[in-house]
Structures are given as C-alpha cells and as structure tokens.
Amino acid sequence: MNSKLTTNQERAICSQLGNFKLKLLYKASIHGFTGAAFHLRCDNQYPTVCVGYNNSGRVFGGYTRRPFSQSGQYVNDDQAFLFSFSGEKLNKYPCINAPYAVKMHSNCGPYFGEALVFVNASQPIVYCNPGQYYNFNAAEMHGNNLNLTECEVYQVEKTAEIVKPWRPVIWESKRKTELMESIQFYKPLNSSVTQARVLLIGPVGAGKSSFFNSFNSVFRGHVTGQAMAGSTSTSLTTQFRTYSVKAGREGKPLPLVLCDTMGLEEGVGAGLDIDDISNILKGHLPDRYQFNPSGPLQSEAHGFCKSPDLKDKIHCVTYVLDASKISIMTTKMEEKLKAIRRKVNLMGIPQLLLLTKGDEACALVREDIRNVYKSGYIKDLMQEAAARVGVPLSCIIPVKNYSEELELDTNTDILLLSAVVQMLRFVDNFFDEISDQLSSLTTEK
C-alpha cells in the first residue's frame, strides 16, 4: 500500500507535529470510500492525519490527536488543525472551537467540526462549511472541487530517540563558563583587526535578530531585546546594523561584532537585495544604512565606504534558518540562498548555518533542549538544510533563541555559546587564508 503524499508534503506535515513520522492506515481506493471501511482501520489509532485528493490536483486534510470512534459525539481537541497545499507550501488552519474539533460519525470518514468531512455519507465526496469551527477559504482549501479521487489516513508515530548523541555536548555550568571565557578573550589572528565581524543572513522571521538578543542575554545575565525582533511577514530589520556585545552591563566590548541584515524575501524588489550583500561583505555599507529593496547602495551615494579596511569587511557569513520551515522552503528561496552562497564562496569567506527553533520543530527537543543531538528528526532537518543551501552537515549548528522566557537557561546558553565559538573558529580560517595568500605573494617576489 503506497502513500500518495510526496516526500516534501509528508515532511511539511511532520514539521507541524515534531519528532514524528506517518504510517498509512487507510486508503480509500483500496479499502473503500465508506465510513465502515474507515472506522475498521482507523478507530482507536491516534494521533492521525487525514489527507484528501481531488481531480483538480488539490491536496488537503486535517490532524487530530483524539482517537476516532462511532459514538456520534463531538470531541475536544485544542491541537486539531486543517491544512492545504499551495505547491509545496503548507497552509495551516487551527481549530477555533476546540470542544467541537472532531465528530465521531459512523457513516463518514474523518469529520472535522462540521467544517470539513471526508467520505461524507459513505461517498467519495467532501462536505465543506468553513467559519464556525475552522476558518479557511474553500477555494484555497480544495478549489471548490468536492469530489475525492483518494482519501488516506495516517497514524502519527513518534520517531526513535537516538540513544547516544551524535554530537557530544557537555551540559554543565562549568562548560558555559569556559565557552564565555573563550569568546571574551578571543583575539583575531590579524593584528590590524580587534573585532571579528560575522554577518547573519536569512529569510524573514528565521531568528537573526533574536539570535543576537539571545547571545547578548548570556553575557548580560538576563534576557534582553536590543535588536528589533518579532513575527511578521516582512522584515522588522530595515537597516544594516552592527551589534557589539559587552561582557556584562558595564564590561568591555567582546572581540566580536554581529552584523544584522534585512530578511530575505522571495519576490523581486522585496527584502534584502543580493547586491547589497556584496557591499556588506566588502565593508562598503555603514552602520544603520537604510536598506532599499528596489536597489542596492551605489558607490557614489552618501555614506558609501569606498576604501574599507580589513576590519570593516565580513570575516564569516552565518545563514539563519527556521528548523520548522525547512521542509516547506520554496524553490525561489532555496535558489536565492544558493546564489548568495556562490557569491560568498567567490570571496573566500567561511560560512556556517544556524538552525533555529528546533524546539518548535521537534517534540523531543521541546521536552528537553539537551535532546537536540539525540533527535533523529532534527538530524534529518539538518541534512535537508545541508542539501538545500549547499553546506556540509559539519557547518550546521542547531540553537534555541530566547523568545518567551524571562530568565536564562544554562543548556540554552551552552548551545548559543557553542555556535559563537564555531563562528570564531571560522573567522580564524578566514585570516589563515589571508596569511597564506600574503606568504605566497612574498615567496613569488
């Protein structure tokens, strides 16, 4: 019995659930488009994902963590949601009336709160009535085509925890102190540079500004919010910002500057312009430069630094991606990231990738951040990120930013600090390469 879901569609659904995989229980084209056939194979099997397909090519469905039965009663489920696909992008519609999330009807397939009923009245059709229990647009959901060509129901199974972490981490306060000291007393290998400059690049909402705030929080000793961060469809960062972190409230600046940029967007004339990235890498853009999505800063413009020094240039590029959205990254965004990576490669700048929000993507990590390298699901996401962006797995580091917490957590801090230490190691690689080039030129003379 083969699943009709594509690999990317299955990953997109699982990205909403966490550390899980899907097991096919019921396939209407094989078992029958009847309520009886559905209940025979799916009752008391939970949580479940139902997926419908029509001859317009639409793929849509729903999730519930409650077991199906034939009681005729409504069941409360505040985690239930409906979804549809636009290409590879998953659109999610949460339940807005939890006590009526799911109904247990003997003569139908999955029955989501009078809003969407699959195999309605034991027929290969869908009943649809959005608004009261789930809010969605019918045309967006199924293209107003209520005839089913297929209906599948999957049981959601938790993936196995890796017994031995595939990357060892010392989760102790002593380790946190060691990492903080290695950052605080770091010295760039080139004597003309006092602070390493690391550029953060990523899509809108990936967590670039939040990463700076989180790292800054570790050295401040409490959660801070210096950089503008939040959740919107467009970038909250509209300026090029260079952030220096102090070792404590009145301490000296650390030998590291994190450079924040406008978020990447898919459309032309929206988000960060790729040519502006070149200007940043070369050290041409001043701090607080106001980005113009319609075009990059020109060399004759006011504020353009025509003769930047090595200390003004970028020494390491770090991409920032949301772990819960890796599987639904669009082709356009993937192409934009790869175009940037090619540009950075030509300039010989080392590159890392931070995978944020692992706790949102994986239930195992949500339970305990120390499970991050025990989660097979997180490792799969990291491997997918490696393939999509074109970086080795060894260059990908999962982190958790502070988003809702008021106090620091040692384990979260250790992940954040470990990521920064790796950035500084890559900065060393950059200066080593410059030193080798200079030595080569001296030898030739």
Q: Under DSSP, is residue 258 helix (H, G, I), strand (E, B) or coil?
A: strand
Token output for 147: 């005839």
| Rounded CA separation 25/350 (Å) | 47
Q: What pTM was computed for the model?
A: 0.69
pLDDT at 197 over 50: yes
pLDDT at 68: 92
pLDDT at 232: 46
The DSSP code for 420 is H
Mean pLDDT on 254-272? 79
| Rounded CA separation 276/261 (Å) | 10
pLDDT at 298 over 60: yes
Q: Which residues, 6+ apart, have CB-to-CB distance to 353 below 8 Å?
A: 318, 319, 320, 321, 385, 386, 389, 391, 395, 396, 397
| Rounded CA separation 274/297 (Å) | 11
- Per-residue pLDDT band at 233 (split at 50, 70, 90): very low
Mean pLDDT on 113-122? 91
Beta strands in 36-147 (DSSP E): 48-54, 59-64, 74-75, 81-86, 89-94, 102-103, 111-112, 116-118, 126-128
| Rounded CA separation 298/219 (Å) | 37
| Rounded CA separation 37/25 (Å) | 11
Sequential DSSP letters for 129-190: --SSSB---HHHHHTT--BEEEEEEEEEEEPPBPSS-SS----SHHHHHHHHHHHHT---SS
Token output for 193: 């540079």
pLDDT at 299: 65
- Per-residue pLDDT band at 15 (split at 50, 70, 90): confident
Mean pLDDT on 137-149? 92
Q: Which residues, 6+ apart, have CB-to-CB distance to 287 below 8 Å?
A: 240, 241, 242
Sequential DSSP letters for 344-381: HHHTT--EEEEEE-HHHH-HHHHH-GGGTTTBHHHHHH
Reported as a single tens digit per residue, the pLDDT across 33-80 is 999 999 999 999 989 999 999 989 999 999 999 999 988 899 999 999
Token output for 5: 């879901």
Domains of the chain: 7-158 (no CATH), 173-444 (3.40.50.300)
Strand order in 239-246's β-sheet? 289-290, 239-246, 253-260, 196-201, 316-322, 351-356, 396-398
Mean pLDDT on 9-34? 87
pLDDT at 5 over 80: yes
| Rounded CA separation 331/352 (Å) | 21
Instruction: Say whether the peptide bond before residue 99 is cis (omega within 30 degrees of 0).
Output: no
Q: For a pLDDT cut of 90, what percent of the chain falls above it?
A: 54
| Rounded CA separation 274/256 (Å) | 24
Q: Which residues, 6+ apart, have CB-to-CB distance to 174 below 8 Å?
A: none
Give the position of tokens 């909402």.
205
Better-scored residue on pLDDT, 49 or 271: 49
Q: Under DSSP, is residue 61 helix (H, G, I), strand (E, B) or coil?
A: strand
Mean pLDDT on 405-431? 95
pLDDT at 322: 93
| Rounded CA separation 216/391 (Å) | 27
User: Distance from first CA to last CA of the chain, Å, rounded?
Assistant: 70
Reported as a single tens digit per residue, the pLDDT across 84-106 is 998 778 899 999 999 999 999 88
Taking CA atoms, 157 is separated from 19, 21, 23, 49, 367, in Å, by: 9, 5, 7, 11, 17
| Rounded CA separation 244/253 (Å) | 6
Mean pLDDT on 245-258? 88
pLDDT at 360: 82
The angle that helices 274-281 and 331-346 make with each other, rounded to 10 degrees, is 30
Strongest mean pLDDT among 84-98, 225-239, 308-322: 308-322
Reported as a single tens digit per residue, the pLDDT across 341-381 is 999 999 999 999 999 998 887 878 888 999 999 888 888 88
